[in-house]
Amino acid sequence: MRTYNLVKRVLVTGGAGFLGSHLCDRLLAMGHDVLCVDNLFTGSKANIEHLLPHPRFEFLRHDVTFPLYVEVDEIYNLACPASPVHYQHDPVQTTKTSVHGAINMLGLAKRVRAKILQASTSEVYGDPEVHPQPESYWGRVNPIGPRSCYDEGKRCAETLFFDYHRQHKLRVKVVRIFNTYGPRMHPNDGRVVSNFIMQALRGEDVTIYGDGSQTRSFCYVDDLVEAMIRAMGTDDGFTGPVNIGNPGEFSMLELAQQVIGITGSRSRIVFTPLPADDPKQRRPDITLAQQALGGWTPQVDLATGLRRTIDYFRAGMGEG
């Protein structure tokens, strides 16, 4: 039984999003008070509807590009559109969310002496020349391309976190999140897993960019949330950055074939031109995570995770 003095008041920005809502679930299950902040640009009240009656859950509609004045013990800063369709819709706002949002949340953490975690991304590595990508790799990012608003925004946020740590002794954690999937993904977010699943369930052609040889590593959302919570729980001497993701590597063609097989779809696979600056390969080196996060390692394999995700999308379409 958790005693009162161990209950923390935890702020989750972007808490109504795909990842954020699962994190809120887990924090409440651990006995904490959760303040979920989201402007609902890409997040959805449907993701947290089941939490609204919870006595230790509070939702606040707020944009992190404006200061926030609350009293909290820990902050998970997840606020930012994370899929190309969404972050390229308003690229200036995407950069502002990453940079101004980080400044505002770091300022809040400084005022209330809270520990703060930044949800960074594997996109800081760009189109990598090193494979798999360790945290020591500085990346290969185009600073003026269509993806730059997200890539460079997150890189700048990391810079701010470490400058606040050095200059103000702030307790910071930075996690670099690799491709994550699971229930509550937005069906039209343009990410490869949701794209393939929706196309297969509708019986449409499954569209692969390029020749299908480019690779990604896919981490199920429960494994990702576990790693984030473990990262927040590390001692103050550990700041990261730390890669969190599943090192299993699959080509886009392999992923499409798995999705078609699990859904039982008759969809055909078709190939279209590769978008600008699309990385050819992406796979985390999770050696540091396994060492620093208490032996954390992903537990859910791709086939199992895909079945759960497909069941979620199928139910949303009224098929299950």
**Which pLDDT score, from 0 to 100, does residue 320 have?**
45
**Which pLDDT score, from 0 to 100, does residue 144 have?**
95
Whether 208 has a pLDDT exceeding 50, the answer reads: yes
Mean pLDDT, range 63-90, rounded to an integer: 89
> In terms of pLDDT, which residue wins out, 39 or 83?
39
**Which pLDDT score, from 0 to 100, does residue 5 have?**
52
pTM of the model: 0.93
CATH architecture designation of domain 8-316: 3-Layer(aba) Sandwich (3.40)
Mean pLDDT, range 186-206, rounded to an integer: 93
Q: So which residues are the catalytic ones? A: 150
Per-residue pLDDT tens over the stretch 224-240: 999 999 999 999 999 99
Pick the closest to residue 221 from 126, 304, 316 (CA basis): 304
Is the distance from CB of 217 to CB of 246 less than 8 angstroms?
yes
d(CA 282, CA 277): 13
Query: Could you tell me the CA-to-CA distances from 11 to 16, 35, 231, 239 in Å, in that order?
Result: 12, 5, 16, 19
Pick the closest to residue 185 from 35, 7, 46 (CA basis): 46
Per-residue pLDDT tens over the stretch 253-270: 999 999 999 999 999 999
Per-residue pLDDT tens over the stretch 123-168: 999 988 999 999 999 999 999 999 899 999 999 999 999 999 999 9
Looking at every residue in the chain, the average pLDDT score rounds to 93
Q: How confident is the model at residue 90 (pLDDT cuts 50, 70, 90)?
A: confident
3-state secondary structure of 216: strand
Residue 299, Cβ neighbours under 10 Å: how many? 12
d(CA 19, CA 246): 15
